[in-house]
């Protein structure tokens, strides 16, 4: 399968002009006149040299465009560091557009970004592999700081790591308290976002190693020496951005830092991530890796397989998988619908034959009408998408309804992965048909797994039923900035923020898992059938049952191991 089209997107254009394509081809044919479909080519043939101190962006881009047009099988990179810079006006350094059957084969290769833009956009490609490549940023998008002194109008911070603020680079978008000894967010610590407070905050350099933080960030009188990660950007540029691709594989890929996520996949079909490492470089002393998520999947289809990977120290979730929940806008009619994401994100194009499900805003998780997509104009990511349907929309659903694309239904498997010490959740599961097996989540400040859907803030997930966890360990989680009701927590959030009491989430299974810590380790709201089987709760106490379930839940317990006399579950939301 091969995608065609122009490839414009909110992440930046994926277009290769005819002049650039011809230029790349001319260079390629001059250097490698006998190159065939099954042969390989080295990026050095296009002038890219690692460890040279010179920028390799243009040379690598020429190689990528030549490979896409000439259907080269393997593009090889030497060992070492290639410096990359996104060109002026572009949102990424490199674009792979329309390539089919291409492998980017690194050899302890590092792509080092020189500005806070995305390293790579992969758009409308098929059967593409990234292997043996690492991503890093020359200037880290955060600083590490400790409180040195309190003053009447703010706080003096000592900058002990990361990028020191300067007159031109000092905006603070978020900051969270950090436990230097444990190497993770501090328990119960401050977690501040400028967008939440609606203020613009800047660090004012005082000396080489100190800066002044205005009192608009309410630190109170935290002890001197309290440590913080101060992020200059939070949801910024990603190492890898993949849009509308088919059969994409990351193999032995590492991401050491990013202003945003390590990798985000939107509208992709079939994604494999094996031996992926999102973590700080060994012995670097860095406090965090990416500013946002590790692996993020939005509105993807087919099989998503994540295996044998390590995801640590992210500024947000380790693995986030969901879809984009929409509302229909004015301007449609009985057979035409105009859709916008409920949270304002851009939407991928609808596909002919997709099934749209409509629900009333008052009951957003209970669809009452289905219709198929006959046609949908547009290309690339858009603020709104429109479609002609095969059935008349009931009049009371033609405006303000909650709409999901039921054809966006990936099968997600996560096996043999280790997650640790990130600011938010281990797994944020916002779609159905997810299995997690033989994984460890250690030290996530929020739940190890949050199983959710909402029509309130993020609008990123439909009913996440058929979710299972097996043979996994969850420990030292749900203690810090992203703390919620339990280590594993399910819920559906209505418009306005209330938790639904309906049976929205069905068929949850947790089997043969270890929960070494005391307290509430599972809480199930908005759920129907839940099975907890063969799990071990060695630290559970009579005063705090490990499992809480709402009255709607049909909870089945079998073969679980608890201390003598301890009851496994209790009812919440009665």
Structure tokens at 129: 């592999």
Confidence of residue 9 (pLDDT cuts 50, 70, 90): very low
Would you state the pLDDT for residue 427? 98
Contact call for residues 255 and 266 (beta carbons, < 8 A): no
Would you state the pLDDT for residue 136? 98
Q: Pick the last residue of a domain from 316, 342, 367.
A: 316
The two beta strands, 326-328 and 402-405, are: antiparallel
Q: Has residue 42 got a pLDDT over 80?
A: yes
Instruction: For residues 422 and 565, state if they share a domain.
Output: yes
Structure tokens at 335: 């057979």
Instruction: For residues 262 and 157, state if they share a domain.
Output: no
Task: Identify whether 521 is part of a domain.
Answer: yes
Structure tokens at 486: 């339990």
Q: Has residue 362 got a pLDDT over 70?
A: yes
Would you state the pLDDT for residue 31? 46
Instruction: For residues 442 and 540, state if they share a domain.
Output: yes
Tokens 């039923």 sit on residue: 465
Kindly tell me the sign of the dihedral angle through the C-alpha atoms of 257, 260, 261, 265: negative
- Backbone φ and ψ for 191, nearest 5 degrees, come out as -140, 100
Select from 458, 524, 462, 514 the least CA-distant residue to 489.
524
Instruction: For residues 224 and 248, state if they share a domain.
Output: no
Contacts of 21 (CB under 8 A, 6+ apart): 65, 69
Confidence of residue 207 (pLDDT cuts 50, 70, 90): very high
Q: Has residue 292 got a pLDDT over 80?
A: yes
Task: Identify whether 12 is part of a domain.
Answer: no
Task: Identify whether 10 is part of a domain.
Answer: no
Task: Identify whether 322 is part of a domain.
Answer: no
Confidence of residue 322 (pLDDT cuts 50, 70, 90): very high
If 0-12 CB within 10 Å is exposed, 13-18 middle and 19+ buried, where does residue 395 land? Answer: exposed
What average pLDDT does the segment 320-337 reach?
Answer: 93
The predicted-structure confidence for 475-484, as pLDDT tens digits, reads as follows 999 999 999 9
Instruction: For residues 444 and 563, state if they share a domain.
Output: yes
Most confident listed range (182-191, 323-332, 472-481): 472-481
Q: Has residue 303 got a pLDDT over 70?
A: yes
The predicted-structure confidence for 388-415, as pLDDT tens digits, reads as follows 999 999 999 999 999 999 999 999 999 9
Instruction: For residues 353 and 383, state if they share a domain.
Output: yes
What average pLDDT does the segment 263-278 reach?
Answer: 98
Name beta bridge partners: 269.
246, 301
Select from 478, 476, 474, 422 the least CA-distant residue to 446.
478
Confidence of residue 190 (pLDDT cuts 50, 70, 90): confident
Task: Identify whether 6 is part of a domain.
Answer: no
DSSP state of 43: G
486 lies in which domain range? 409-571
Instruction: For residues 293 and 156, state if they share a domain.
Output: no
- Per the prediction, the chain carries an average pLDDT of 92
Q: Pick the last residue of a domain from 365, 390, 405.
A: 405
What average pLDDT does the segment 507-530 reach?
Answer: 97
Confidence of residue 308 (pLDDT cuts 50, 70, 90): very high
Q: Has residue 173 got a pLDDT over 50?
A: yes
Q: Has residue 29 got a pLDDT over 60?
A: no
Task: Identify whether 348 is part of a domain.
Answer: yes
Would you state the pLDDT for residue 27? 46
Instruction: For residues 414 and 520, state if they share a domain.
Output: yes
Give the domain CATH number at 162: 2.40.10
Structure tokens at 59: 């040379």
Contact call for residues 479 and 521 (beta carbons, < 8 A): no
Instruction: For residues 271 and 153, state if they share a domain.
Output: no
If 0-12 CB within 10 Å is exposed, 13-18 middle and 19+ buried, where does residue 375 land? Answer: exposed
Would you state the pLDDT for residue 15? 41
What average pLDDT does the segment 479-503 reach?
Answer: 95
Instruction: For residues 246 and 103, state if they share a domain.
Output: yes
What average pLDDT does the segment 233-249 reach?
Answer: 97
Overall domain count for the chain:
4
What average pLDDT does the segment 116-129 reach?
Answer: 98
Would you state the pLDDT for residue 217? 84
Instruction: For residues 396 and 432, state if they share a domain.
Output: no
Would you state the pLDDT for residue 196? 81
Instruction: For residues 468 and 347, state if they share a domain.
Output: no
Task: Identify whether 132 is part of a domain.
Answer: yes
What proportion of the chain, given as a percentage, has pLDDT over 90?
Answer: 85
Q: Has residue 445 got a pLDDT over 70?
A: yes
Would you state the pLDDT for residue 21? 44
Q: Pick the last residue of a domain from 231, 249, 266.
A: 231
Task: Identify whether 53 is part of a domain.
Answer: yes
Q: pTM for this one?
A: 0.93
Would you state the pLDDT for residue 574? 54
């Amino acid at each position: 399968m091969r995608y065609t089209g122009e490839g414009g997107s909110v992440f930046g254009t994926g277009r290769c002009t005819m002049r650039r394509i011809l230029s790349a081809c001319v260079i390629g044919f001059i250097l490698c006149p006998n190159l065939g479909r099954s042969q390989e080519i080295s990026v050095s043939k296009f002038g890219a040299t690692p460890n040279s101190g010179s920028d390799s962006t243009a040379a690598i881009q020429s190689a990528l465009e030549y490979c896409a047009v000439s259907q080269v099988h393997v593009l090889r990179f030497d060992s070492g560091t290639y410096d990359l810079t996104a060109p002026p006006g572009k949102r990424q350094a490199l674009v792979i557009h329309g390539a089919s059957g291409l492998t980017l084969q690194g050899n302890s290769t590092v792509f080092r970004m020189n500005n806070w833009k995305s390293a790579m956009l992969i758009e409308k490609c098929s059967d593409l592999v990234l292997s043996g490549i690492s991503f890093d940023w020359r200037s880290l998008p955060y600083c590490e700081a400790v409180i040195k002194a309190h003053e009447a109008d703010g706080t003096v911070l000592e900058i002990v790591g990361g990028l020191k603020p300067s007159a031109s680079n000092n905006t603070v978008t978020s900051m969270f308290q950090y436990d230097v000894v444990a190497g993770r967010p501090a328990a119960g610590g401050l977690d501040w976002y400028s967008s939440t407070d609606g203020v613009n905050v800047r660090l004012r350099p005082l000396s080489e190693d100190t800066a002044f933080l205005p009192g608009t960030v309410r630190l109170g009188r935290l002890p001197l020496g309290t440590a913080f990660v101060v992020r200059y950007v939070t949801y910024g540029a990603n190492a890898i951005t993949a849009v509308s691709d088919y059969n994409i594989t990351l193999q032995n890929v590492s991401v050491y830092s990013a202003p945003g996520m390590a990798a985000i996949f939107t509208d992709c079909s079939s994604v494999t991530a094996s031996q992926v490492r999102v973590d700080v470089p060994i012995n670097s002393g860095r406090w965090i890796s990416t500013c946002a998520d590790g692996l993020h999947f939005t509105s993807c289809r087919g099989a998503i397989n994540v295996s044998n990977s390590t995801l640590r120290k992210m500024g947000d979730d380790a693995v986030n998988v969901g879809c984009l929940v929409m509302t229909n806008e004015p301007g449609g009619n009985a057979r035409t619908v105009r859709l916008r994401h409920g949270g304002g994100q851009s939407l991928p194009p609808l596909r002919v034959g997709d099934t749209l499900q409509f629900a009333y805003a008052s009951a957003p998780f209970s669809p009452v009408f289905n219709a198929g997509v006959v046609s949908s104009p547009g290309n690339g990511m858009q603020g709104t998408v429109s479609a002609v349907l095969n059935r008349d929309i009931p009049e009371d659903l033609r405006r303000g309804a909650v709409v999901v694309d039921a054809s966006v239904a990936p099968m997600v498997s996560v096996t043999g992965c280790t997650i640790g010490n990130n600011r938010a959740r281990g797994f944020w599961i916002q779609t159905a048909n997810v299995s997690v097996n033989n994984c460890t989540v250690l030290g996530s400040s929020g739940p190890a797994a949050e199983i959710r859907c909402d029509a309130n803030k993020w609008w990123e997930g439909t009913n996440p039923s058929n979710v299972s966890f097996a043979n996994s360990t969850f420990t030292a989680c749900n203690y810090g900035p992203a703390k919620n009701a339990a280590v594993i927590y399910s819920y559906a959030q209505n418009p306005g923020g209330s938790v639904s009491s309906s049976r929205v989430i069905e068929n949850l299974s947790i089997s043969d898992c270890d929960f070494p810590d005391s307290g509430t380790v599972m809480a199930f709201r908005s759920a129907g059938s839940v099975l907890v089987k063969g799990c071990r709760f060695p630290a559970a106490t009579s005063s705090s049952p490990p499992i809480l379930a709402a009255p709607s839940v049909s909870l089945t317990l079998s073969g679980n191991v608890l201390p003598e006399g301890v009851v496994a579950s209790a009812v919440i939301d009665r």
